[in-house]
Structure 1
Amino acid sequence: MEYDREGPQLPTARGPVSGAVGAHLLGTGPLPSPEAVAAAPVYGDDLQLALYQCYELHYRGFAGVSPGLEWDPGLLGVRATMERRFLSALRADTPVHDSVADAVGALLVEPVHGEGVSHFLRDEGERWHLREYAAQRSLYHLKEADPHAWVLPRLWGRPKAAMAAVEFDEWGGGRAERVHARLFADLMTDLDLDTTYGAHLDAASAECLATVNMMSLFGLHRSLRGALVGHFAAVEITSSPGSRRLAEAMRRTGAGPAAEHFYDEHVEADAVHEQVVRHEVIDGLLEQEPGLAADVVFGIDATGHLEDRLGARLLADWRAGRSSLLRPLPAARRVDGGIAHVS
């Protein structure tokens, strides 16, 4: 049997479901029982990590795990059960707008007195907050734009061309050093973080896992292509103002030039992407398939729902003076005047 040797290490189990999935991937135990899957809290660490493990087989896999398990029938059955629970919870818990115009319009309105994570980091965040934020976000940003690529073969004509154009920018416009995942790794280097793909999976909260799992859920199901487009729109439309605040946070704390550049790049690029996504991807898709309007709205609003949950978790922890991570990060080493300091 062939095994992946270059992928990340399997994460530490967070309960019976993720433990059984991990054991199955290593060939050391059975899949979780239907009863265990049904009992696991849908937004909790155990189910979200188990789902993340299943999805990661479609990206880079795990060290010591056979690539053939990507399409293992038993594992796919367990994944489908977890997906149904996750999707049902999202549909039940997400307040949705009445129309695409209303949902997009809400994204375009910036609050006068914002209180979100980017506002906190800009105004009062310390270096350790920035490091934790980057560690959690690395689960997505080190594969930035990859989950959205699943939708490309499900589109055609105008929305496909526009979506591909935005993705091409995200992947550096043909230049490896400008791939956004590479730029984020450079940001992590400035913040003295391990840039290895998957290195911070064990530290990430369930709320963070859920945001990435939702992208994979939408991307891997053709029936959810409208939701994936809605999710992508939410990301691109809100990215520019949020990135501006995060760039200011990096400058204020002296995080480093690469840390500043990552968010500066997104301020400029995503301001353009917003227009393309709104007028070419969404409008083009709904011109072809008007019946997907409700799915686009759901994708937009479900993204906001999960981002709000993550933001609430981060801010509650930080304002209480505690870490938002499940595992502490190694101490950062900074060099000033040739002298190394540990912080």
Structure 2
Amino acid sequence: MRLPHARGPMSAAVVGALRDDLSADGLADLWRHAHPAADPRTDDDLHLALWVVYELHYRGFDGVDPAREWDPELLRARLMLEERFEEALRADAAPVVAQVLGELGDADPATQVERVIASVDGPDVSRFVQREATADQVLELMAQRSLYTLKESDPTSFVLPRLDGAAKAALAELQYDEYGGGRADRLHATLFARGLEACGLDPTYGAYLDQAPGHVLAGNNAMSLLCLNRRLRGAALGHLAAFEATSSLPCRKLASGIRRLELPDELWEYFDEHVEADAVHEQVALRSICGAAVDAEPALRADVLLGAAVYLQTEATTGTRTLDAWQQGRSCLVSAGEAVPA
């Protein structure tokens, strides 16, 4: 994957250090270069910089030495960006987590996560796709989603060595399904790439990074934040549970909208695959993974709820901004190097 175009001083410093193979000295002071109004939840510059540093732990970039994954200055910069982002995520999630713990403190984790889901409102993008979206809007949405879906489940795999016992076994079972049950042609990322290609979109990993708004990068970064930090393993599991528990019905609506628009079968087949699979994964994630993890480590309970709230709130932000763009006659994507309109 090529390094992206910068969107401000923070991402320019990170991308420049990697592109020119320069020392990353001083990157830990990046935040002082940010625009005074920068919102750590959605800022384009911050989240592109953070996404690039995270990507060094996944597949990296063309021409960038793989050893830069462990560059101490890049890791310091990552920590600084993470701290700003995590602080904002925790502030948003705290009221929801406190309310659920206050009302259902003795309930099982599955019931508590379900209450978090019921407590966080967000627009129904899948319903819009089912009934109203144009073909161009659906293709924009697929390009937007490709940032995660072309590496579907990879962040969660970092959590496996941080667990033990029943939760670890259940997570491995779920991941095996996500990775095609041992068949390379059934990898969920491969199925999605096949759908992109059939629609005339670029199926290359990271192809639409330059077009992804900051709020989309933030949703991806939230997952990496939780999954790459062992101290946040409980939140990573809660994030996974909320993802799976809110996936099956939206996938059914998306598949319906894709068929309505007569887009290629390969695209709706990806979502059809998830209608049944995610209905099963919902119960595995809620009970066999989160339930078992909290049974083994009761101190993880609040973090599980934190992760669920983080997923729902970041998705709500992206859904709201996507629908707002369409209703204003704009694309939900941005041009290379452009910051998304506030």
TM-score of the superposition, structure 1-length normalised? 0.89
Aligned pairs for 1:51-200 within 5 A: 51-94=50-93, 95-97=95-97, 98-99=100-101, 100=109, 101-107=111-117, 115-200=123-208
- Identity percentage over the alignment? 46
Higher helix share: 2
Query: Matched residues in 2 for 1:38 and 1:190: separation?
Result: 44
Cα 1:16/1:29, change in 2 over 3 Å: farther
Residue 96 of structure 1: how far off its partner (Å): 2.0
Aligned pairs for 1:266-285 within 5 A: 266-285=274-293
CA RMSD of aligned residues (A): 1.8
Query: Matched residues in 1 for 2:65 and 2:14: separation?
Result: 13
Query: Matched residues in 1 for 2:73 and 2:275: separation?
Result: 44
Residue 36 of structure 1: how far off its partner (Å): 3.6
- Which residue of structure 2 lines up, in the alignment, with residue 324 of structure 1? 332
Cα 1:24/1:273, change in 2 over 3 Å: same
- Which residue of structure 2 lines up, in the alignment, with residue 44 of structure 1? 43
Name the structure, 1 or 2, with higher relative contact order (CA <8 Å, separation 6+): 2
Cα 1:33/1:164, change in 2 over 3 Å: closer
1:101-122 CA deviation, whole Å, 9 max, x = no partner?
A: 33323537999xx941111111
Residue 321 of structure 1: how far off its partner (Å): 1.2
Query: Matched residues in 2 for 1:255 and 1:193: separation?
Result: 12
Aligned pairs for 1:287-306 within 5 A: 287-306=295-314
Aligned pairs for 1:164-243 within 5 A: 164-243=172-251
1:146-202 CA deviation, whole Å, 9 max, x = no partner?
A: 000010000111000000000000000000110000000011122210111111000
Query: Matched residues in 2 for 1:135 and 1:290: separation?
Result: 39
One-letter amino acid of the counterpart of residue 257, structure 2: A
Query: Matched residues in 2 for 1:39 and 1:301: separation?
Result: 30
User: Aligned pairs, how many?
Assistant: 319
Q: Give the match's secondary structure for 1:96.
A: helix
Q: Give the match's secondary structure for 2:246.
A: helix
Q: Which runs of 5+ in 1 are unaligned?
A: 1-7, 329-343
Query: Matched residues in 2 for 1:88 and 1:123: separation?
Result: 37
Query: Matched residues in 1 for 2:84 and 2:170: separation?
Result: 32
- Which residue of structure 2 lines up, in the alignment, with residue 308 of structure 1? 316
Contact 1:108–1:238 under 8 Å retained in 2: no
Query: Matched residues in 2 for 1:34 and 1:214: separation?
Result: 20
- Which residue of structure 1 lines up, in the alignment, with residue 12 of structure 2? 19
Query: Matched residues in 2 for 1:246 and 1:170: separation?
Result: 19
Contact 2:152–2:188 under 8 Å retained in 1: yes
Query: Matched residues in 2 for 1:165 and 1:154: separation?
Result: 16
Query: Matched residues in 2 for 1:250 and 1:325: separation?
Result: 19
Residue 38 of structure 1: how far off its partner (Å): 3.8
